Amino acid sequence: MSEFRLSVRHLLGIKDLTEADLHAIFRTTREFAGILERPIKKVPSLRDFTVANLFFENSTRTRISFELAEKRLSADVINFSASGSSVSKGETLLDTVNNILAMKVDLVVIRHACPGAPHLLSRHIAAQIINAGDGAHEHPTQALLDCYTLLKHLGRIDGIRVGIVGDIRHSRVALSNILALKKLGAEVRVCGPPTLIPSTVTTLGVTVEPSLDRLLAWADAVNVLRIQLERQNIKYIPSLREYARHYGIDRDRIQKLDKQILILHPGPMNRGVEITSEVADSKQAVILDQVLNGVAVRMAVLYLLAGRS
Amino acid sequence: MSQRVLIDRRRMELTLLRLAHQLLEHHPRLAGCCMVGIQPRGVFLARRLRDVLARLYPDFELPYAELDVTFHRDDLRRSSTPIVPESTHVPPGFSTEDRVVVLVDDVLYTGRTVQAALSAILAFGRPRSTELLVLVDRRRKRELPIEAHYVGIAVDTLDHERVLVRWPDNPDETDLVVIQSQRHV
């Protein structure tokens, strides 16, 4: 029962967290993961706490995961999704949120297509904020659950080699993962079509590896990103078939290796594009374990932030 | 800072023996009992008691778990320092269903930790009854109607005093229960 406060009041991005914050979140996550194994999976920690889930962008897994985490902590929950709301009548983000906050909400979980939307909110409203994905910027809880999954399966993060494959340019999962892994002492290499790798990525302390086979031979774990069809207004890749041939992870590539590597995917998967079904459903893939850990990680973040309110 | 010793090493051995025998007096062969040590400091007392019981009666079975009650506390948003939990160790298959649960903690003070523990153990079944064993009872300081069934020592303390229980990992060091006064008297 150590006395510890997160260094932040909001979770806007991994960028703002310290290494001590990350370790405290993982330690708390481990306890919540234990609670999720019990017959009664609920604790009363946040029974006097109200959370609003504001999803201005589509989401299945993240929204359900947050909602379940909030309910397991006994918080009161209200859900909002942009479709069918007054947003389509022209209301601004601040007005929408202020109207919801007028109903005495303590914490807002927000997903928005605009990078920086949670940061804007944090400067204008009194409630605490968790970023559940802002455009192509950050998705901190996804990075936390990916790192926790690595920690659980590999026993440590310091010194491990992690490859991130796919659309690095448009991926908030990639950015948050890189920031978290570097803070925790992992080595990170990214791999993908040159058009989808920003030239500035090396300033984050990662290396670009053009060959997927070389990346797989080097890595202890790979995080396979989804090709974001909805963010491809310009053609960054000639075709999905070509992408699958050069950057898709299939059984042959995995069998060539002389070791077992861990395969992560933040979902939703495009089976047959970035990953084949055989690999996705194999024992090396911990994709469903990531989903399970997601609830425990979000419980930990909510719990630790509530202690700072 | 002044310090008063309540229990030294020799007395600690006697106190642990007495507590173990009081448990046996109430529950012959410890039948139907289980023990739950409360994290972080109750587990040291619970482990010692188990050692004593195992030495005296090696064939008595006492299911044992270590429980962190942090998530069940009622002061998360009131205390200035939120609490990162210690580990809960509950062996697979551990159940409190229809058992006598003996909660073990080092110091009973306001009673709020015990209240959280009573809430936390409900996740493991419905106990037949729940009892409380503590090493030190700080009397007349309760904020809740909670009392211990088995008490190592009961003391009257002032608000500025702290009761410290030291459980050294090093066996050569002396176990001690002391009262420290924060004020120079």
- pLDDT of A118 > 90? The answer is yes
> Which DSSP string corresponds to B31-68?
TTEEEEEETTTHHHHHHHHHHHHHHH-TT----EEEE-
Task: Please check whether residues A49 and A113 belong to one and the same domain.
Answer: yes
pLDDT category of residue A1 using cuts at 50, 70 and 90: very low
pLDDT category of residue B172 using cuts at 50, 70 and 90: low
CATH number for the domain harbouring residue B48: 3.40.50.2020
Judge whether B175 lies within some domain. no
pTM of the model: 0.88
Mutate to test the interface with A, among B43, B84, B87, B122 (most CBs of A within 10 A): B84
The answer to whether B121 and B101 are in contact (CB under 8 A) is: yes
The number of domains in chain B is: 1
* Chain A residue closest in CA terms to B73: A45
Judge whether B154 lies within some domain. yes
Mean pLDDT estimate for chain A: 92
Task: Please give the pLDDT value at position B157.
Answer: 87
Residues B97/B99/B100/B106 CA torsion (nearest 10 deg): -60
Do B76 and A46 make contact, defined as CB atoms within 8 angstroms?
yes
Judge whether B172 lies within some domain. no
Judge whether A128 lies within some domain. yes
DSSP category for residue A36: T
Residues A190/A192/A195/A201 CA torsion (nearest 10 deg): 0
Task: Please check whether residues A238 and A302 belong to one and the same domain.
Answer: no
Q: Which of A40-44, A174-178, B23-27, B171-175 has the lowest mean pLDDT?
A: B171-175
pLDDT in tens, A230-275: 665 567 888 888 999 999 999 999 999 999 999 999 988 999 999 9
DSSP category for residue B181: E
The number of domains in chain A is: 2
Judge whether A259 lies within some domain. yes
Percent of chain A whose predicted confidence (pLDDT) is above 90: 78
Task: Round to whole Å and give the CA distance between A244 and A272.
Answer: 7
pLDDT in tens, B49-62: 999 999 988 888 89
Strand A161-165 to A128-134 pairing:
unpaired
Judge whether A164 lies within some domain. yes
Domain membership of residue A32 as a residue range: 14-138+291-306
* Chain A residue closest in CA terms to B67: A31
* Chain A residue closest in CA terms to B39: A1
Task: Please check whether residues A73 and A89 belong to one and the same domain.
Answer: yes
Judge whether B145 lies within some domain. yes
Task: Please check whether residues A49 and A187 belong to one and the same domain.
Answer: no
Judge whether A284 lies within some domain. yes
CATH number for the domain harbouring residue A147: 3.40.50.1370
- pLDDT of A286 > 50? The answer is yes
Residues from chain A that touch B87, judged by Cβ atoms under 8 A, are 30-31
Chain A residues with CB under 8 Å of a chain B CB are: 1-6, 24, 27-28, 30-32, 34-35, 38-40, 43-46, 48-49, 73, 303-304, 306-309
Task: Please give the pLDDT value at position B185.
Answer: 45
Judge whether A1 lies within some domain. no
pLDDT in tens, B85-117: 888 888 888 899 999 999 999 999 999 999 999
Closest chain A C-alpha to B180 CA, distance in angstroms: 21
* Chain B residue closest in CA terms to A48: B77
Judge whether A8 lies within some domain. no
Closest alpha carbon to A6 in A306, A309, A305:
A305
Domain membership of residue B135 as a residue range: 9-159
- pLDDT of A228 > 80? The answer is no
Mean pLDDT estimate for chain B: 87
- Positive or negative torsion for Cα A263, A268, A271, A273: negative
Task: Please check whether residues A46 and A111 belong to one and the same domain.
Answer: yes
Task: Please check whether residues A60 and A173 belong to one and the same domain.
Answer: no
Task: Please give the pLDDT value at position B55.
Answer: 92
Task: Please check whether residues A110 and A152 belong to one and the same domain.
Answer: no
Judge whether B181 lies within some domain. no
Under the phi-then-psi rule, with left for phi > 0, alpha for psi from -120 to 50, and beta for the rest, what region is A109? beta
The answer to whether A85 and A100 are in contact (CB under 8 A) is: no
Judge whether A4 lies within some domain. no
Percent of chain A whose predicted confidence (pLDDT) is above 70: 96
Judge whether A286 lies within some domain. yes
Task: Please check whether residues A89 and A215 belong to one and the same domain.
Answer: no
Task: Please check whether residues A109 and A182 belong to one and the same domain.
Answer: no
Instruction: Please state the ipTM of this predicted complex.
Output: 0.76
Taking one residue from A and the other from B, the number of pairs with CB-CB distance under 8 angstroms is 74
- pLDDT of B184 > 60? The answer is no
Task: Please give the pLDDT value at position B171.
Answer: 60
Closest chain A C-alpha to B123 CA, distance in angstroms: 5
